[in-house]
Amino acid sequence: MQISIAIPLLNEEESLPELEAWIRRVMEANQFTYEILMVDDGSTDTSWSVIEQLSATNPNIRGIKFRRNYGKSAALHVAFEAAKGDVLITMDADLQDSPDEIPELYRMIKEDGYDIVSGWKKVRHDPISKTVPTKLYNAVTRMMSGVKLHDMNCGLKAYKSEVIKSIEVYGEMHRYIPVIAKWAGFSKIGEKVVQHQARKFGVTKFGSWKRFIRGPLDLLSITFVGKFGQRPMHLFGSIGMIMFMVGFFSALYIGINKLYRLSEGLPTILVTDNPFFYIALTSMLMGTMLFLTGFVSELVSRNAPNRNAYLIEREIQNENV
């Protein structure tokens, strides 16, 4: 199979029929073999009923329904696991991503050799409350991650099959899949300017406060995991040892200086009356705590349970796919 198309969705009953028909036209016009993975992330409207109806007329549709809302990362994770195509395309279900971009995205993966091609919505049809946080978020992400993408959070992306089968997406990390892939060794990451459609139905599921609060925290998390996830002792242990040694030698100096002054009959004060003694003691305690944190983190990283346990309520598995 050439292409898998993963579509996470939440309460998108109005847009799904039009989106499916649009994708089918593009696939048939280019004679692609394909599947459409629609992951219903706990919708409270009739989205699942629409998926069932669409799958009855299009055998290339596979549906997965969560019992409750787990978030976009969870939906993408199960889609990545289920995908069978050589290239996986992700897109949103709100009709803001154009399926007409799929053939070129596929070509860039297969012919140009990219591991990932990310869409860039250079011209956006969003309110300023959404575009300004997005620009700030992308600028900070480029600076911290080294992945030079203009639109990290664009839902329209293409991946080699090897990429999606080699990475794990959890929490709110769907925003940083290119960064996760880079840390996993997939460094050929490209970008393509894509058309951004104005929202036709419904409302956005992501508020600006989430971008301001969750975005930076997720970036710090994925940066730490990427650099030190397999060796947390290298970070905590190193800082802890430096702080402990600074405190230890400071306390040693204070003690030696005290003994010297006593031996020479010079006036001196109690060690506990010296404020630098408490600074040195605090530094030693913090260094010890950081070292122990690194040690415990090493144990946790080697025995972490599966973080992706999602309760799937129903699934459509067409035999022809």
Cα(288)–Cα(242) distance, rounded to whole angstroms? 10
Where do we find the tokens 């944190």?
293
Cα(280)–Cα(256) distance, rounded to whole angstroms? 14
Extract the tokens encoding 234: 């290298």
Residue 299 CB neighbour total at 10 angstroms:
11
Residue 308 near residue 74, CB atoms below 8 Å? yes
Cα(20)–Cα(26) distance, rounded to whole angstroms? 10
Closest C-alpha among 30, 27, 35, 43 to residue 15: 43
Residue 232 near residue 298, CB atoms below 8 Å? yes
DSSP secondary-structure letter at 314?
E
Closest C-alpha among 21, 14, 75 to residue 46: 14
Q: To the nearest 10°, the Cα dihedral for 281, 300, 217, 178? A: 130
Residue 48 near residue 63, CB atoms below 8 Å? yes
Cα(193)–Cα(177) distance, rounded to whole angstroms? 18
Cα(15)–Cα(295) distance, rounded to whole angstroms? 50
Helix/strand/coil for 32 = coil
Task: Per residue of the chain (321 residues), give pLDDT as tens.
Answer: 999 999 999 999 999 999 999 999 999 999 999 999 999 999 999 999 999 999 999 999 999 999 999 989 899 999 999 999 999 999 999 998 999 999 999 999 999 999 999 999 887 766 666 667 777 777 877 887 788 888 888 889 999 999 999 888 877 778 889 988 888 889 899 999 998 776 666 666 554 455 556 666 666 766 676 666 667 777 788 899 999 999 999 999 999 988 888 888 888 888 888 888 899 999 999 999 998 888 887 677 656 554 555 656 677 777 555
Closest C-alpha among 186, 254, 183 to residue 225: 183
Cα(207)–Cα(190) distance, rounded to whole angstroms? 28
pLDDT of residue 227: 66
One-letter amino acid for residue 287 of the chain: G
One-letter amino acid for residue 91 of the chain: M
Residue 6 near residue 38, CB atoms below 8 Å? no
Q: Which ranges in the chain belong to alpha helices (H)?
A: 16-29, 47-57, 72-82, 102-110, 128-145, 161-164, 177-183, 208-228, 232-263, 275-302
Where do we find the tokens 């940066």?
223
pLDDT of residue 309: 52
Cα(112)–Cα(47) distance, rounded to whole angstroms? 37
Query: How many C-alpha atoms does 94 have within 13 Å on its Cβ side?
Result: 19
Crossing angle, helix 102-110 and helix 16-29, to 10 degrees? 50
- Give DSSP secondary structure letters for 46-66: SHHHHHHHHHHH-TTEEEEEE
